[in-house]
Amino acid sequence: MNKIAIIGLGYVGLPLALEFAKKYPTYGFDINKSRVAELSSGKDHTLEADEEELKASTITFTCKPEEIADCNIYIVGVPTPTDKHHKPDLTPLYKASETVGKLLNEGDIVIYESTVYPGVTEEECVPVLEKYSGMKFNEGFFCGYSPERINPGDKVNTLTKIVKITSGSTPEIADRVDALYNSILENGTHKASSIKVAEAAKVIENSQRDINIAFVNELAKIFTYLDIDTLDVLEAAGTKWNFLPFRPGLVGGHCIGVDPYYLAQKAQEIGYHPEIILAGRRMNDGMGEWLAGEVVKLMIKKQLAVKDAKVLVLGITFKENCPDIRNTKVINVVDELNDYGCQVDVYDPWAGAEEVKAEYGIELCQNLEDDYSAVVLAVAHDEFRTLNIGMHTVENAVVYDIKGVLDRHFVTDRL
């Protein structure tokens, strides 16, 4: 019988644990004691699960490795970030592999879901598992890879409703991994021909999206200089049957702004310089600073003082109607406005104040002032669509709509 341990209880691990627990004995393991305590009490600050669902679940949440020692399937869903130089940081993956390696028994399967570049599972993780288990790969233990496709805040394309890629280290294990995921999915799986194929498929999904957004971001810059409304252009072009409906904006989060660097790293290791991938990253990583500059230019045109000007930034999460602040690029807008000498307030009813303070050093404002010289809508939370921005601004204030969701009659400019 399958007895499953989910390693890492974030946006990836928790939905997995909840679904597998409906069919199998399931343990949720995390090294963060406060996270384990939170989930055990039926609460989830990521909002991926509600209290009733958590309280009704049979999951055993734990931060003690010994409590998952008799499981026979370990599914690893820990973060795979990049460092300040945009280099992949596999430390969480190594640590998780060490923890699991010490627990492995004959015949166990370790399945990785973390986003990586092709080769990480077999070339980086397997040696760690072998070292700490004392067993040989594909003899004592086996591996699989099934990349996560979690979209934080998305209540439509949830875990059970998507097609899941699966793979295994032998044909027999590939079949077992595929059957395991098929047991909880409504739309089935795609069994990849190898673990490396599955890894590569995941990393190009978000790289493709990143490049397409970079293209429309470049278009937005060009059209700004030509005094043409970018969204009007995209709407017109979108009437063609095969035009792709991408929009310009800030590209952050745990996937799109990170995954291309993983693929670029592997390409560079084999001596190939990935020009398009890195060009897209440069374009998207620089959008925050460029947008802040556009806001300042508009303030100058309106003869508003920039130094010590009060500026309100609406939103700090990386996407709308979601509390996830990981790798948000709104911080680049905030930092650049601060560098211009502005006094920036950040308001976001979705973000956790303590988490924002710890991660970015920003004190979220709880009460909006009524004399802002500029307002920047950075995240399209539903609450902002009906906010009476005019109540909080000085006469002739700049209102810049990065997301293009406000009534254009009340907006000075938009991306």
- pLDDT of the residue at 302: 96
pLDDT of 51 over the 90 cut: no
Give the whole-angstrom CA distance, residue 399 versus residue 30: 43
- pLDDT of the residue at 11: 92
- 34 Cβ contact list (under 8 Å, min separation 6): none
Q: What percent of the chain has pLDDT over 70?
A: 100
- pLDDT of the residue at 24: 97
Q: 3-class DSSP state for residue 177?
A: helix
Average pLDDT rounded to a whole number, residues 220-227: 97
- pLDDT of the residue at 311: 97
- pLDDT of the residue at 319: 92
CA angle 111, 271, 85 (to 5 degrees): 70
Give the whole-angstrom CA distance, residue 397 versus residue 21: 53
pLDDT of 154 over the 80 cut: no
Determine contact, residues 315/406, Cβ cutoff 8 Å: no
pLDDT of 369 over the 90 cut: no
Residue type at 120 in one-letter notation: V
Average pLDDT rounded to a whole number, residues 326-350: 97
pLDDT of 157 over the 90 cut: no
pLDDT of 202 over the 80 cut: yes
**DSSP annotation of 390:** G
DSSP string, 65-104: GGGGTT-SEEEE-----B-TTS-B--HHHHHHHHHHHTT-
Determine contact, residues 293/400, Cβ cutoff 8 Å: no
**Could you say which of 125, 143, 255, 342 is catalytic?**
255
DSSP string, 114-147: S---TTHIIIIIHHHHHHHH---BTTTBEEEE--
Mean pLDDT, rounded, of the chain = 95
Instruction: List C-alpha distances in Å: 316 to 127, 259, 283, 288, 389.
Output: 39, 21, 20, 12, 17
pLDDT tens digits along 160-184: 899 999 999 999 999 999 999 999 9
- pLDDT of the residue at 324: 93
Average pLDDT rounded to a whole number, residues 376-380: 97
**DSSP annotation of 319:** S
| Host H or E run for residue 295 | helix 287-301
pLDDT tens digits along 75-117: 999 999 998 888 999 999 999 999 999 999 999 999 999 999 9
Instruction: Place 253 in a pLDDT band, splitting at 50, 70 and 90.
Output: confident
- pTM for this structure? 0.92
Instruction: Note if 255 is an active site residue.
Output: yes
Instruction: Place 156 in a pLDDT band, splitting at 50, 70 and 90.
Output: confident
